Amino acid sequence: MIGGVRVGHHHRIGDGWATGTTVVLFPEGTVGGVDQRGGAPGTRETDLLAPENLVERVDAVCLSGGSAYGLAAADGVMRWLGERGQGFRVGAEPHEVVPIVPAAVLFDLPRSDWGNRPDAAFGYLACEAAAEGPVEQGSVGAGAGARTGSLKGGVGTASVRVGEITVAALLAVNARGEAADPMTGELYAASVAPGEFPEAPGRPGALSAPAASDLNTVIGVIATDAALTKAQCRRLAISGHDGLARALRPAHSLFDGDTLFAAATGVRPAPDAAGFDGLCAAAADAVARAVGHGVLAASTVGDLRAYRDAWP
């Protein structure tokens, strides 16, 4: 990810559980934005990120399984940040803050016994586990119970350098659409980054279509070290959705609540208009590649096969 940005996972798999939470913690002063597509969103504090509204800074983003129940994980993130005095200051004392923690959830309820879903403890423990550096991918955190079309989904990351600026994406890939051609096994993300993904196995697969009743959603964060405004962060998130459309077929269905947050730490100078346009193009590429990485890194859970098992 981006320097100063920390990512943590907490999940439970086994004994009737397959769900979890991923938290992205930002350095002080990070500007945030969001864009939501699809017909079934589950979100919290997204209106706050509209460019015309008061608060510009975000402290964290919480991504969680558990459908709407999983939004409770953000309570634990707020508690963890509040204990450290990080948030929007509303009083004179150091502890008098309101942490700004937008959140989005995905639908993974069928992978766990009913009632087993993330709560505030998941968010708190994900914060405790947060660290800089390489992010664990696959069936972890919010990707623990994720499904992508006929295959197991998971957490995926990717980054792109645009001059001195970095754009990175972290996704929990839980799409109704397929990430790979069901007949050949070719990952659609391979068209964005030739040579980065395995060649198509080149033989017919035996993948079943997703159940018509399944609900889905891809949720994630696009982060950059450039200095951007709230409006530019929203535009970055909008562009990221182009990457979903390249890597998933179909994307943004009525049964998906695809939501992408964007965050700018401001370490690098603000780009000019042409430079910012390049960051938007990079965001789309990073999102598409993160979809591919999330599916490749996922592990089989129950009878939901991972890509590596369906196409060994």
Residue carrying structure tokens 């504090």 = 45
pLDDT at position 213 = 45
The C-alpha atoms of residue 158 and residue 15 are separated, in whole angstroms, by 32
Whether cis (ω within 30° of 0) applies to the bond prior to 250 is yes
Q: How many CA atoms lie within 13 A of 263 on its CB side?
A: 32
pTM of the model: 0.96
The C-alpha atoms of residue 117 and residue 102 are separated, in whole angstroms, by 19
Domain 6-310: give its CATH code: 3.60.70.12
pLDDT at position 223 = 98
Low-confidence ranges of the chain (pLDDT < 50): 209-213
Residue 249: beta bridge partners? 178
DSSP string of 258-269, one letter each residue: -EEEEEEEEEEP
CA dihedral 292→37→151→116, nearest 10 degrees, is 120
> Where do the domains of the chain lie?
6-310
59 touches 81 (CB < 8 A): yes
The C-alpha atoms of residue 307 and residue 152 are separated, in whole angstroms, by 7
Task: List C-alpha distances in Å: 267 to 2, 3, 30, 136, 263.
Answer: 10, 9, 9, 24, 12
Tell me which amino acid residue 102 is: P
